[in-house]
Amino acid sequence: MTTDLSSTSHYGWVAPSRDMLGSIGGTPLIRLTRASEETGCDIFGKAEFMNPGGSVKDRAALAIITDAEARGALPPGGVIVEGTAGNTGIGLTLVANARGYKSIIVMPETQSQEKIDFLRMIGADLRLVPAKPFKDPGNYVHVSRRIAEEGGYLWANQFDNVANREGHRHTTAQEIWRQTDGRVDAFTCACGTGGTLAGVALGLDDAAKASGSSRPQIVLADPEGSGLFGWIKSNDLSVSGSSITEGIGQSRVTANLENAPIDDAERIGDPEALEQVYSLLINEGLSVGGSSGINVAAAIRVARRLGPGHRIVTILCDGGARYQSKLFNPTFLRGKNLPVPYWLDK
Ligand code: PMP
């Protein structure tokens, strides 16, 4: 490829931050060599696994807490409650620790043991609940809302609190714009709350308008078992199938997703996502989780559709170590009829 990366690859110097919160965001944008070479495009991954809590959700946590403080909704020493697949709970707990708050984290018990252990390690008051669909009152989101209401605590409400997407709009999107000198043809991203996808889409749209250029194509990357692919393609939210990926897939249009400029969608199955997870690890030295695999697989599909010479950006949401007991465990993989990568197949 002919892209000149000299202005975007090495800053060489990073200003000191006042506290831990200043280390959230400002992540590298990494050219993914294999994916780029295979497609003749430049495919970049935003290294969100490098945030202090290890995922893209640190940004949402900081944005939600900062917004609550500004609204006077979080008194000194207050308590933040949230229902989460894990990463938001980790981000909220670390930000709460740094700002002198406490956290109560409600999580479905099906999430990885690594996230459960990490939440306990960092001091979250962790409440595991059985996995239930959103319409069931026992669903983790509803449990967290009730705990907040009953205790008079702050409910972070990441799905419908648009401080989440506004955080991405003003940080993630602007970083991508600067790191690419405003040359992005497409952006692909999976959805849990929709904060990342919608916030980056809106922020890239803001930046494109301000510079008089056209905005990149925005493409949802959706796992099996999520309703959003059908929603984008045919306004039909019905769900089929399932996925071993965590933190993504959605069966309703959250407030964060409302009116987001999303142009298209790709549905990615677990084998295709895992192929990217393993390739990124063994060929490029990048350890990422399943949602990153879905994002990169979607970026490759979009690159093939657009043709050589285009630039596609996606998100590397979190790190592989968070899923050692699942995505990198031969027994787990065989139990799901998924291929075991050769270096683990012993
Ligand atoms: N990937 C992972 C690993 C996550 O934990 C999440 C959030 N649950 C996402 C992607 C999706 O991010 P968002 O909530 O911004 O849609």
Q: Where are the domains of the chain?
A: 21-52+168-344, 56-155
Radius of gyration for the alpha carbons in the chain, expressed in angstroms and rounded: 19
Q: Helix or strand or coil: residue 38?
A: helix
Q: How far apart are CA 227 and CA 29, in angstroms?
A: 29
Cβ–ligand 1 distance for 292 under 6 Å, the answer no
Q: How far is the CA of 215 from the centre of ligand 1 (A)?
A: 23
Cβ–ligand 1 distance for 169 under 6 Å, the answer no
Q: Helix or strand or coil: residue 55?
A: strand
What is the residue with the minimal CA distance to atom 6 of ligand 1?
A: 247
Q: How far is the CA of 292 from the centre of ligand 1 (A)?
A: 10
238 is written with which tokens?
């019905």
CATH code given to domain 21-52+168-344:
3.40.50.1100
Residue 16: the pLDDT is 85
**For residue 60, which atom of ligand 1 is closest to its CA?**
15
For residue 299, the number of C-alpha atoms closer than 13 Å in the C-beta half-sphere is 37
Residue 74: the pLDDT is 97
CATH code given to domain 56-155:
3.40.50.1100
What is the residue with the minimal CA distance to atom 8 of ligand 1?
A: 247
Q: How far is the CA of 192 from the centre of ligand 1 (A)?
A: 5
Q: How far apart are CA 254 and CA 98, in angstroms?
A: 29
State the complex-level ipTM: 0.99
Residue 56: the pLDDT is 98
Q: How far is the CA of 317 from the centre of ligand 1 (A)?
A: 7
Q: Do domains 21-52+168-344 and 56-155 have the same CATH topology?
A: yes
- Mean pLDDT, the chain cut into blocks of 10 residues (346 residues total): 47 78 97 98 98 98 98 97 97 98 97 96 98 95 98 98 98 98 98 98 98 97 98 96 96 97 98 98 98 98 98 98 97 96 94
Residue 17: the pLDDT is 87
For 235, residues 6+ apart whose C-beta sits below 8 A from its C-beta are none
For residue 273, the number of C-alpha atoms closer than 13 Å in the C-beta half-sphere is 28
- Residue 57 catalytic? yes
What is the residue with the minimal CA distance to atom 11 of ligand 1?
A: 192
Q: How far apart are CA 196 and CA 254, in angstroms?
A: 12
Cβ–ligand 1 distance for 247 under 6 Å, the answer yes
Cβ–ligand 1 distance for 78 under 6 Å, the answer no
Cβ–ligand 1 distance for 87 under 6 Å, the answer yes
Residue 12: the pLDDT is 60
23 is written with which tokens?
């280390």
Cβ–ligand 1 distance for 54 under 6 Å, the answer no
